[in-house]
């Protein structure tokens, strides 16, 4: 007579998911801190438009001028163009390549030339290479 086979019990696999939400939020915070979004959040700038624009790579350094003419380096307000020139060498000290010395320059379209030209000169004197940000103008002429 044949003996009935004993059924093996399958071990239940338990995956702890209690901390998954914590890990997800920590990753989101990490990427927000590391991105340009975190450095320039809250600076209202309407860049000028142009028909032909090239796409830029990300840069670790950013200078912005808002519609009131206030100047920001890495999202922190500075009093004038001389401050931009003084801060850039510290920000670019580890830049070994030309691409690493690129400074993203965002300027509101309402800002006059007398405000943004000294800032552009300060970026150049501080060792940066200016990459101006603009919006594509796709209107037909």
Query: What is the DSSP annotation of 95-139?
Result: --STGGGEEEEEE-TTS-HHHHHHHHHHHHHTT-EEEE--EE---
Asked if residue 64 lies in contact with residue 40, where contact means CB atoms within 8 angstroms, the answer is: yes
Distance spanning both ends of the chain, measured CA to CA? 95
| Alpha-carbon span 131 to 103, nearest angstrom | 6
Does this model's pTM top 0.75? no
Q: Please compute the mean of the pLDDT values over residues 100-128 and round it to a whole number.
A: 89
Give a yes or no: residue 9 inside a domain. no
Segment 24-66, tens digit of pLDDT: 888 888 777 766 554 455 666 666 555 565 555 667 788 989 8
Give a yes or no: residue 49 inside a domain. yes
Give a yes or no: residue 10 inside a domain. no
Enclosing domain of residue 85: 20-136
Provide the pLDDT for residue 80.
92
User: How many domains does the chain fold into?
Assistant: 1
Higher pLDDT, 73 or 44: 73
C-alpha to C-alpha distances, 31 to 24, 64, 68, nearest whole angstrom: 11, 21, 30
């Amino acid at each position: 007579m044949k003996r009935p086979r004993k059924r093996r019990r399958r071990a239940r696999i338990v995956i702890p998911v209690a901390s998954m939400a914590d890990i997800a939020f920590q990753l989101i915070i990490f990427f927000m801190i590391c991105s340009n979004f975190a450095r320039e959040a809250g600076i209202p700038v309407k860049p000028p438009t142009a028909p032909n624009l090239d796409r830029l790579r990300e840069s670790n350094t950013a200078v912005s001028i808002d519609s009131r003419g206030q100047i920001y380096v890495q999202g922190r307000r500075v009093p004038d163009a001389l401050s931009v020139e003084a801060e850039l060498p510290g920000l670019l000290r580890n830049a070994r390549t030309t691409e690493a010395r690129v400074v993203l320059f965002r300027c509101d379209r309402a800002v006059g030339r007398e405000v943004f030209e000294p800032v552009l000169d300060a970026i150049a004197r501080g060792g940066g290479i200016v990459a101006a940000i603009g919006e594509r103008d796709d209107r037909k002429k």
